[in-house]
Amino acid sequence: MSTDEYDLIVIGAGPVGENVADRAVQGGLSVIVIESELVGGECSYWACMPSKALLRSGQALRAAQHVQGVIGGELDPTEVLARRNSFTSDWSDDGQVKWLQSAGIDLARGQGRISGEREVTVTDDDGTERVLRARHAVAVSTGSDAAIAPIPGLAEAAPWTSREATSAQEVPASLAIIGGGVVAVEMATAYASLGAKVTVISRGGLLAKMEPFAGELVEKGLRADGVDVRTNTGTARVDRDDDGVTITLDDGTEIRAAEVLAATGRQPRSDDIGLETIGLEPGEYIRTDDTLRVQGHDWLYAVGDVNGRVLLTHQGKYQARAAGDVIAARANGDEIDDATWGRHVASADAAAVPQVVFSDPEVASVGLTAAAAQDAGHTTRVVDAELGSTAGASLHADGYTGTARMVVDTDRDVILGVTFVGADVSEMLQAATFAVVGEVPISRLWHAVPAYPTMNEIWLRLLEAYGRQSA
Amino acid sequence: MSTDEYDLIVIGAGPVGENVADRAVQGGLSVIVIESELVGGECSYWACMPSKALLRSGQALRAAQHVQGVIGGELDPTEVLARRNSFTSDWSDDGQVKWLQSAGIDLARGQGRISGEREVTVTDDDGTERVLRARHAVAVSTGSDAAIAPIPGLAEAAPWTSREATSAQEVPASLAIIGGGVVAVEMATAYASLGAKVTVISRGGLLAKMEPFAGELVEKGLRADGVDVRTNTGTARVDRDDDGVTITLDDGTEIRAAEVLAATGRQPRSDDIGLETIGLEPGEYIRTDDTLRVQGHDWLYAVGDVNGRVLLTHQGKYQARAAGDVIAARANGDEIDDATWGRHVASADAAAVPQVVFSDPEVASVGLTAAAAQDAGHTTRVVDAELGSTAGASLHADGYTGTARMVVDTDRDVILGVTFVGADVSEMLQAATFAVVGEVPISRLWHAVPAYPTMNEIWLRLLEAYGRQSA
């Protein structure tokens, strides 16, 4: 058993842990990260990257086939899976480990468990223990796991989770997906494009946390792609036999599939990291203040999914930049910039979380939905416009359909939230994020001319629908 | 000869004239527009729309073919031309005329000529004259024409201009393009994708008004698409014979082509609109103040290309919104909002003009180039980042290459200009435009999280390269 001291110990070397470590090193601290699986984390090997790699080829082909003048073209599932494999480096983290080295970050492989104040014990595969002490801080960035809903027989049926869905080396003949969130609709889109017969079974609608028209348009899109979508449908039980899986719905209907994907939510990976040694509850989200620090433990930070603020990689990385900087600032005795929108707080977690669902059509949203804005007590006006009404969209794809919504705070004349649903809207989101985060007044946005003919002319439609007042 | 009185007379029913008229009608004025060709103007029939229609199919196919997993696919030039024809409604303006009617705007067909203060005489094809009187204002929005460079033999060789290039009903076997601007590179991209053997001959580099790397990357892209690009090459003369055209370069080299496209700039369409009757110079740009009004003629406005401020359709439409509103406000005796960024001025013409070149790769820029910012006396820092370094770009296309540049005013910590060069960057521009127009401080932009994995993560690269200070 060896003992080592670092300024900062980071548990979890996903994108979030890597960014906390990197910022802290740039702030002059010595840092070690602890990883029990692959450096690079869930996002690199079993989530964002492989899922988008499974989706992109189909998306690109669809886009081409929706334009008159393009003939032929098809998808080769084997090649799509091969491309996905290359994006995960065949599940090798050699490249990421090299990056850690180049960034001056130490790595300990094994399970990291808090074993006291500013102390983490790492247990490697052989059971060897190493005690690490932190001069300044410990940051937990262990992420989240798929949560299997308590549907009778589901756990026993060895369901796919997002991990298996994103890392499968063969396309099953048929795939039943239980759930209606992002994982469900993205994997339905991907596997339908790869030739599987896909069924989606959702207790409610699709994408329930977003604007209602998002789920509606995606449901329509999935149906057009040949997916059997069952919304407002409960699952009574799941049974696996030698030939596959039977999903029995609440109304007694039975659905057969080669595989079943449980896309029924996430849970924090906090059950086996020693939280009990410092009086916190294992298995629960680790709550923090806006500097990502845990109340009552001024040396402890929780960053990314594990704090339950926002379960999105880019938002976790955003938190990581604030956390790495504030940990370094506090260690160095520098001034702390923790006012709203300051350098050391994750203010956007509340006001401006961007999200893209890479389904067909895509959904891109930032900030508050109309319902959320009203619940939060804002005086709002909601403006909708059809993306297909722009010249840019009609050029982009024949028969383009899609919708944009802008939620305006009429007291302050600024935008609280924007949602786009339509083909290839993902890169349009950043403008909305700038408007929301920058709190740019509507009267000024009239001067931000969309290039003609691009789909971004939708901004003009939204502004025209809102009406123009003098500044 | 009949006489009619309107609050506002608009000469030219392109997108700019239509928007001036529409805003004025919404402000309660009576309006007539005069059009000598097709309602909808250059943009609808011989510029933006048909050029993008010629480009989009090839762009979509290229995007698909650059992703492993997509196999096959080809372009059918006949179908591309057919799609382009449908976007120009086969050069019929019936739809646009209906729109004018629905918007409550009167139409006079014929050549409109100013014949005195607040008076315009319209001469139709039969030579019948109609005198129109304006109670409040006359707006000239006649646009611009292709200018044929004074190269010996060029005008006599019956060259294509942007009109013929965008409306051709057959793809020539070979096309020589003289020029290096937007028309040259877009038409080179389009006709190369449609199977023509294309040669581009430019006196200087390509896209000379943009950041230098834009032209360099587009030159590389055109070469990869099989285009013979001759930069820094003068043309000595052009001769047409029965089989086509011979272009003799300054060094004596002869280039043969079936057609030659003169893409050598634009000139204002102001030579035959009666400017001489009010002491203005025919054939010159009609200069205006920021409310688009002509000094010394408080009833006369010039909007769009013809005023020479910015020769881009979307910027003309932007001017048109300001002009239509201010004409109505002045007529109604309402308050005028003509401070910088006010409702009645086209402030963005100086600070924030967006432009997209739909070449391969695309170029999207807004605001000042590094050189222009320096010339304007700003204290700047220029930050470059490689688009291919983002996960989003690597997913978007295999081997993605492209560059982004951000020009920062370090005195005010705001962005003066942004340029993106790469495949499918056009929809990324609006965010840059919001940042420039909104003058959003860099410290705040750190909170505008790009969705992962999209190409917009380039913003993070740019901010990281710039460095982070506390707010």
Please give the model's pTM, rounded to 2 decimal places. Answer: 0.97
pLDDT of residue A2: 59
On whether both A237 and A170 belong to a single domain, the answer is yes
**Phi, psi (rounded to 5 degrees) for B87:** -70, -25
pLDDT of residue A471: 59
In chain A, residues with a C-beta closer than 8 Å to the C-beta of B76 are 69-71
**Residue in chain A lying closest to B434 (CA):** A448
Kindly state whether B464 is in contact with chain A, defined as any CB-CB distance less than 8 angstroms.
no
Kindly state whether A126 is in contact with chain B, defined as any CB-CB distance less than 8 angstroms.
no
**Residues of A (338-377) whose Cβ lies below 8 Å from B:** 339, 341-344, 347-348, 352-356, 364
On whether both B130 and B273 belong to a single domain, the answer is yes
Residue B122 in domain: yes
Residue B84 in domain: no
Burial letters B384-406, b for 16+ CB under 10 A, else e: ebebbebbbbbbbbeebbbbbbb
In chain A, residues with a C-beta closer than 8 Å to the C-beta of B438 are 434-435, 438, 440, 444-445, 448
User: Average pLDDT of A209-224?
Assistant: 98
Helices within A116-211 (DSSP H only): 162-167, 182-193
pLDDT of residue B468: 81
Residue A83 in domain: no
In this complex, the residue of B64, B325, B429 whose CB is nearest that of residue A451 is B429
Kindly state whether A104 is in contact with chain B, defined as any CB-CB distance less than 8 angstroms.
no
On whether both B118 and B30 belong to a single domain, the answer is yes
Distance separating alpha carbons of residues A88 and A95, to the nearest angstrom: 10
Indicate if the pLDDT at residue B470 is higher than 90.
no
User: Average pLDDT of B389-404?
Assistant: 97
Which of B67, B335, B429 best probes binding to A when mutated, by most A CB atoms within 10 angstroms? B67
**Residues of A (425-444) whose Cβ lies below 8 Å from B:** 425-431, 433-435, 437-438, 440, 443-444
What's the domain count of chain B? 3
Which pLDDT band, with edges at 50, 70 and 90, does B469 fall under? Answer: confident
Which pLDDT band, with edges at 50, 70 and 90, does B2 fall under? Answer: low
User: Average pLDDT of A114-128?
Assistant: 97
Distance separating alpha carbons of residues A32 and A51, to the nearest angstrom: 29
In this complex, the residue of B67, B427, B437 whose CB is nearest that of residue A454 is B427
- Could you give the ipTM of this predicted complex? 0.97
Residue A397 in domain: yes
Query: In whole angstroms, what separates CA B135 from the centre of its chain?
Result: 32
User: Average pLDDT of A370-388?
Assistant: 98
Indicate if the pLDDT at residue B3 is higher than 70.
no
- Closest CA–CA distance from residue A396 to any residue of chain B (Å): 7
Q: Name the residue range of residue A162's domain.
A: 155-264
User: Average pLDDT of B437-465?
Assistant: 97
User: Average pLDDT of A311-324?
Assistant: 98
Among B211, B242, B264, the domain boundary falls at B264
Indicate if the pLDDT at residue B1 is higher than 60.
no
- Closest CA–CA distance from residue B309 to any residue of chain A (Å): 15
Residue B260 in domain: yes
Indicate if the pLDDT at residue B120 is higher than 80.
yes
On whether both A257 and A279 belong to a single domain, the answer is no
pLDDT of residue B273: 98
On whether both B260 and B306 belong to a single domain, the answer is no
Peptide bond into B453 cis (omega under 30): yes
pLDDT of residue A422: 98
On whether both B209 and B343 belong to a single domain, the answer is no
**Residue in chain B lying closest to A60 (CA):** B64
pLDDT of residue A468: 81
Over its C-alpha atoms, chain A yields an Rg (Å, rounded) of 24
Residue B141 in domain: yes
Structure tokens given for A105: 């970050």
pLDDT of residue B90: 97
Which pLDDT band, with edges at 50, 70 and 90, does B34 fall under? Answer: very high
On whether both B290 and B141 belong to a single domain, the answer is yes
User: Average pLDDT of B9-30?
Assistant: 98
User: Average pLDDT of B309-319?
Assistant: 98
On whether both A313 and A441 belong to a single domain, the answer is no
**Phi, psi (rounded to 5 degrees) for B170:** -140, 150
Residue B457 in domain: yes
User: Average pLDDT of A385-402?
Assistant: 97
Is B141 within 8 Å of B10 (Cβ atoms)?
yes
**Residue in chain A lying closest to B72 (CA):** A73
Indicate if the pLDDT at residue A352 is higher than 70.
yes
**Residues of B (284-323) whose Cβ lies below 8 Å from A:** 312-315, 317-318, 321
**Residue in chain A lying closest to B326 (CA):** A470
Residue A26 in domain: yes
On whether both A223 and A247 belong to a single domain, the answer is yes
Average pLDDT, chain A: 97
- Give me the percent of chain B exceeding a pLDDT of 90: 99
On whether both A280 and A220 belong to a single domain, the answer is no
Which pLDDT band, with edges at 50, 70 and 90, does A3 fall under? Answer: low
CATH number at residue A236: 3.50.50.60
User: Average pLDDT of A351-372?
Assistant: 98
CATH number at residue A401: 3.30.390.30
On whether both B196 and B209 belong to a single domain, the answer is yes
Q: Which string of DSSP letters, residue by residue, matches A234-261?
A: -EEEEEEETTEEEEEETTS-EEEESEEE
**Residues of B (8-47) whose Cβ lies below 8 Å from A:** 43
In this complex, the residue of B353, B426, B471 whose CB is nearest that of residue A342 is B471
Among A202, A231, A264, the domain boundary falls at A264
Among A292, A319, A348, the domain boundary falls at A348
On whether both B241 and B281 belong to a single domain, the answer is no
| CA count, 13 A, side-chain hemisphere, A182 | 19
Checking phi first, is residue B90 left (phi over 0); if not, alpha (psi -120 to 50) or beta? Answer: left
In this complex, the residue of A57, A339, A447 whose CB is nearest that of residue B69 is A57
